[in-house]
Amino acid sequence: MSIFDFADGRKGYYGEYGGTFLPEILSATIEELQDCFAGCKQDPTFWQEYVDLLHSYSGRPTPVTHLANLSKQLGGAQIYVKREDLGHTGSHKINNVLGQGLLCKRLGKTRVIAETGAGQHGYATATMAARFGFDCTIYMGAVDVARQRPNVFWMERMGATVVAVEDGQKTLKDAINEALRDWVTNMHDTHYVLGTACGPHPFPEMVSYFQSIIGLEAREQIVAAAGRLPDRVYACVGGGSNAIGIFQGFLDEASVELVACEAGGHGPDSGQHAARLAYPDASVGVAQGFKTYFLQDDNGNMLETHSIAAGLDYIGVNPILVHLWENDRVRFTAATDEQVRDTLKRVMRSEGLIPALESTHAFAMAIEEAPTMGRDEIILINQSGRGDKDIFTIADALDDKKWKDFIRNKAADYGV
């Protein structure tokens, strides 16, 4: 089953969510992109070119790993992990940007822009731009620039211009706003490589389409490794690109429960989280080009969000996932910062894996629920990225005084 089976017949809508809400000046540009993407979907040579590029440049397919130690410790379900951390640039983001890079070539654009929170999408976009020869500008909230310094370093080394956004909360939503302003000004030669499966049509569909490679691989791999399909699939959700990517491998299997894990921050009653559907604080609205659930006040003003993971503190959520949630096909949960810290320590010590803080939310919920399942049941987690980018945040979160002092001194050297 494809995500396109869930469209309701209106272009870019999934139930009541999605659509295209943009200023008139961008109408011709977005229609050009919609037409180009529609043509690519109908062209089998495009998908094959995309897959070949992923294999030769990004190192796909990424493997599925059985976590035997953790499974034994928990005494419940057998836990497997889809290793998107092993793709080029260290996360699933490279899948989407390589696909959009091929689109950009077909559009004849010579410059790309992108937003980034955790920095993985910015890093992947800068890498793609270097590979294809595009000029590149990355917008990143000033708060995220400070806490994701390693990715900023690599973006700049790849030749990208990184713009620290000082507006608003200085995080992901503010970076998206700034990228949209750039696009309006430079649409004649610029393609906006939106990184998550949100925003105006065709971005939710397009990003989901490119990320479906995760689910296509994972379905075959888990059957080969475990002998059958999993009972549950867990993935973290900020905007929702990695989750909708792996979920697409199992949408047509009613026996496979799909579990989306949001950022619980300091908990449901704290007002400091980024859980749109797991907690009851969000409501339906229109912002940043599309209709979905947002964390907003009664006047439609966006609320501040919080997460230990820079890539999960977005105000909205993929409209396709919302539609699946309303139809009881995806269950939404949330992990708190404290759960994530504890889970990260456990996974590192038990399995020698360092998942990104974003991915660790999925691990946290899987570890919480695995002991309630039978030993013959199977869990599959999408490890959407690797945690080396989070070294500063992790050192602070784990209260490692030696490293915190080192990081503080280095940050002062760079004026951060």
Distance CA 346, CA 129 (A): 37
Q: Examine the fold and report which residue of 152, 184, 203 is the final residue of a domain before the chain moves on.
A: 203
**Residue 12 domain-assigned?**
no
- 292 and 256 within one domain: yes
- 366 and 274 within one domain: yes
**Total domains present in the chain:** 2
- 41 and 77 within one domain: no
From the candidates 58, 71, 93, 205, give the one annotated as an active-site residue.
93
**Residue 7 domain-assigned?**
no
- 334 and 243 within one domain: yes
**Residue 357 domain-assigned?**
yes
**Residue 413 domain-assigned?**
no
Q: Examine the fold and report which residue of 203, 228, 253 is the final residue of a domain before the chain moves on.
A: 203
Q: What is the pLDDT of residue 148?
A: 84
Give me the tens of pLDDT residue by residue for the chain, a chain 416 residues long.
566 565 665 789 999 999 999 999 999 999 999 999 999 999 999 999 999 999 999 999 999 999 999 999 999 999 999 999 999 999 999 999 999 999 999 999 999 999 998 889 999 999 999 999 999 999 999 998 988 888 999 999 999 999 999 998 998 889 999 999 999 999 999 999 999 999 999 999 999 999 999 999 999 999 999 999 999 999 999 999 999 999 999 999 999 999 999 999 999 999 999 999 999 999 999 999 999 999 999 999 999 999 999 899 999 999 999 999 999 999 999 999 999 999 999 999 999 999 999 999 999 999 999 999 999 999 999 999 999 888 877 777 677 667 667 666 665 565 55
Query: What is the CATH number for 372?
Result: 3.40.50.1100
Whether 115 is catalytic? yes
Whether 384 is catalytic? yes
Q: Which domain holds residue 306?
A: 60-90+212-407
**Residue 6 domain-assigned?**
no
- CB burial of residue 288 (10 Å; 0-12, 13-18, 19+): buried
Q: What is the pLDDT of residue 8?
A: 61
Q: Examine the fold and report which residue of 203, 235, 250 is the final residue of a domain before the chain moves on.
A: 203
- 223 and 155 within one domain: no
- 156 and 256 within one domain: no
**Are the C-beta atoms of 253 and 286 separated by less than 8 Å?**
no
What is the CA 371 to chain-centroid distance, rounded? 27
Q: What is the pLDDT of residue 320?
A: 98
**Are the C-beta atoms of 58 and 50 separated by less than 8 Å?**
no
- 142 and 175 within one domain: yes
- 190 and 145 within one domain: yes
**Residue 16 domain-assigned?**
no
Distance CA 226, CA 77 (A): 12
Q: What is the pLDDT of residue 147?
A: 81
Positive or negative CA dihedral for 104, 107, 113, 114? negative
From the candidates 58, 91, 212, 384, give the one annotated as an active-site residue.
384
**Residue 378 domain-assigned?**
yes
Q: Report the 10 Å Cβ neighbour count for 195.
A: 32
From the candidates 58, 71, 91, 115, give the one annotated as an active-site residue.
115
**Residue 4 domain-assigned?**
no
- 256 and 334 within one domain: yes
- 383 and 347 within one domain: yes
- 356 and 374 within one domain: yes
Q: What is the pLDDT of residue 7?
A: 60
- 109 and 224 within one domain: no
Q: Which of 377, 385, 346 minimizes the C-alpha distance to 236? A: 385
Distances (CA, A) of 268 to 29, 154, 262, 307: 40, 36, 11, 12
